[in-house]
Structure 1
């Protein structure tokens, strides 16, 4: 860390036009005085220079190797498409840098295990962007469950939509349609949200699953062109948590005219319900309601102590800022690469359950 005491950040993948770095990471970091954005890199010199001007970042590179080598950079943020995570995270780890990598950590379980092992060997702090855990409502739910608000959890059910993987797709997102790229309805919105569910209620001990691609062809937004889709646009998972609670989750591609996020937790003494307009819980600010034998069911007020970064902008940056604030306070409070491996392993079990039609134990 530099003498200023601020954490110097370098972002790989900070496009000036669009992308998660521009919409989430940069606004989040600007809201946190603990951090300073010192460097960025893109794949082209022109875009790197444009991003440098747009975001006011002094150091701009057209390759990641130069960024990770800079002494001003304490924390490397990898915010690029999933297929390139392994190469870029590996370079940052070998440079001895702390790393924040977007979820999914790798393109499949094997890559995630490799990166987690390397992070342990290098002795650096490596975190994964499963920021739904940092959402204030999710943190509050976890504590309510632990305090016995609903009594013993009997079951939980969740139905949500993915936004993408519907009947149309933007041109820059077409890579989401190819299952081989590792960025699918199963890995992204389902993966983020089920991670928050498991963090709150406990892991699955067994799963059954159905994966289906109901739209094999989708239309390119604003055109009459179509593109093939091999990624599942329907994900249905059921199983039993380690506590014995029964769980059911259904994710649908596209956007519903009705329900886009409904998560219920039912217990012997009460119930909790989270609702929202997006099935991406990592980007959402859901409404929380609850009730039990002592409290009539209705909206629950979120205590201020669950907001780690009160000044964070609303929208995509909000939960990312919460995660950054927690990391600065206590690096062990945010999901690590080892936590990412647990989630990747679960996703592989879901794929196997769907492929074989047989229940899988975790």
Structure 2
């Protein structure tokens, strides 16, 4: 099979940027893909990126989304830009009949996401949304243990995570846009959406009408931390939450109870960033991550308290060898997502993204200070 030809919007020449760490490594090394075109805000910046990343001289440079979208050599159009631009960047490709990958969140608003998903369905396009957490070997191992009955009947699922941001009541200059709901990228949409999707992938969806979400903004004004570590004298308004909670039941038999709490601020010193516990009739599974969620990196530990044997077992997870572990952390699960698409395996699409957007709207409806 010929490689899937990719055009990327948002791969800059700057080192350490998201697209260069998350998308480029696997796309550049996989036999299933070939990067044929890039698009940035200017031809100069696009050509600089092609040179900086040692892409072939045949790689086409564009400075307009329409130009890249109309290129007949592009099989998959990749959107790796800020959330508030996803709609305007992706729509030309959808209108042109291209298959499209868009980072999560799919759009800045649910209305935009619905329009994108509807157009993709109308044109019978393949779409990918960047829910890479469900590709994590750790999350897949959890799902396997749940589905095979290794834990017995599932009675409860608890998740608690701390996002290591907004210490000293300050937002870093790089992510100060998290304070502005209009932009679409913030703790609820990015972290909350990613983590909830990973959990629900592994243990099953929420039971309709059985759960109560809550979003609370206890830091309505914040300083901005500059690159040199100093804090702005001014306080800036924030209309996004820093405490995100949900309690309810899962749509499984029996209907297990579910509790979820994600917060900003300092983590407990020396402790993991998040803990995921699943209690079943055969024992309890405890999963710990260094970060706030499973979307970025493998679990630092997965342990099963085996009630039948009266002992704690360490669960091993196959990460796939150096082919994967040698990639930047950001690129491992996204790389697995690309390979799932290439091989026709299940992955999250725009329709699932709309479902997650609708769930987050229920949180927004409760936002309070």
Taking the aligned partners of 2:309 and 2:96, their CA distance within structure 1 comes to 55
Taking the aligned partners of 2:343 and 2:290, their CA distance within structure 1 comes to 31
Count of equivalent residues: 351
Taking the aligned partners of 2:139 and 2:322, their CA distance within structure 1 comes to 13
Structure 1: give runs of 5+ residues left out of the alignment.
356-362
Q: Which residue of 1 aligns with 2:23?
A: 25
1:255 positional shift: 4.2
Change in CA separation of 1:122 and 1:318 when aligned onto 2, cut-off 3 Å: same
Moved over 3 A (4+): 163-170, 307-312
Change in CA separation of 1:111 and 1:193 when aligned onto 2, cut-off 3 Å: same
Does the aligned pair in 2 maintain the 1:261–1:277 contact within 8 Å?
Answer: yes
Root-mean-square deviation (CA), in Å?
2.2
Say whether 1:198 aligns with 2:200.
yes
Structure 2: give runs of 5+ residues left out of the alignment.
none
Out of 231, 234, 237, the position equivalent to 2:243 is 234
Change in CA separation of 1:110 and 1:169 when aligned onto 2, cut-off 3 Å: same
Taking the aligned partners of 2:67 and 2:25, their CA distance within structure 1 comes to 24
Taking the aligned partners of 2:108 and 2:266, their CA distance within structure 1 comes to 25
Out of 250, 253, 256, the position equivalent to 1:245 is 256
Taking the aligned partners of 1:26 and 1:69, their CA distance within structure 2 comes to 22
Taking the aligned partners of 2:66 and 2:160, their CA distance within structure 1 comes to 42
Q: Which residue of 2 aligns with 1:184?
A: 186
Change in CA separation of 1:170 and 1:16 when aligned onto 2, cut-off 3 Å: farther
Out of 293, 318, 338, the position equivalent to 1:324 is 338
Taking the aligned partners of 2:310 and 2:196, their CA distance within structure 1 comes to 28
1:311 positional shift: 6.1
Please give the residue correspondences for 1:103-114 in structure 2 after superposition, counting only pairs within 5 Å: 103-114=104-115
Taking the aligned partners of 1:79 and 1:163, their CA distance within structure 2 comes to 23
Q: Which residue of 2 aligns with 1:261?
A: 274
Taking the aligned partners of 1:203 and 1:218, their CA distance within structure 2 comes to 38
Taking the aligned partners of 1:354 and 1:315, their CA distance within structure 2 comes to 33
Q: Which residue of 2 aligns with 1:168?
A: 170
Does the aligned pair in 1 maintain the 2:163–2:291 contact within 8 Å?
Answer: yes
Deviates more, 1:93-102 or 1:17-26: 17-26
Taking the aligned partners of 2:7 and 2:322, their CA distance within structure 1 comes to 22
Taking the aligned partners of 1:211 and 1:99, their CA distance within structure 2 comes to 31
Does the aligned pair in 2 maintain the 1:169–1:219 contact within 8 Å?
Answer: yes
Change in CA separation of 1:255 and 1:92 when aligned onto 2, cut-off 3 Å: farther
Say whether 1:217 aligns with 2:232.
no
1:309 positional shift: 6.2
Taking the aligned partners of 2:165 and 2:10, their CA distance within structure 1 comes to 21
Taking the aligned partners of 1:259 and 1:139, their CA distance within structure 2 comes to 20
Change in CA separation of 1:267 and 1:96 when aligned onto 2, cut-off 3 Å: same
Q: Which residue of 2 aligns with 1:359?
A: none
1:107 positional shift: 1.4
Q: Which residue of 1 aligns with 2:8?
A: 11
Does the aligned pair in 2 maintain the 1:312–1:321 contact within 8 Å?
Answer: no
Say whether 1:153 aligns with 2:150.
no
Does the aligned pair in 2 maintain the 1:163–1:253 contact within 8 Å?
Answer: yes
Out of 321, 333, 355, the position equivalent to 1:342 is 355
The one-character-per-residue Cα deviations of 1:310-330 (angstroms, maximum 9, x if unpaired) are: 465141111111111111111
The one-character-per-residue Cα deviations of 1:312-359 (angstroms, maximum 9, x if unpaired) are: 5141111111111111111x511011111111111112223456xxxx
Taking the aligned partners of 1:66 and 1:48, their CA distance within structure 2 comes to 13
The one-character-per-residue Cα deviations of 1:227-284 (angstroms, maximum 9, x if unpaired) are: 4322111112211111211111111114412341111111111221211110142112
1:152 positional shift: 1.1
Say whether 1:123 aligns with 2:155.
no
Change in CA separation of 1:354 and 1:220 when aligned onto 2, cut-off 3 Å: closer
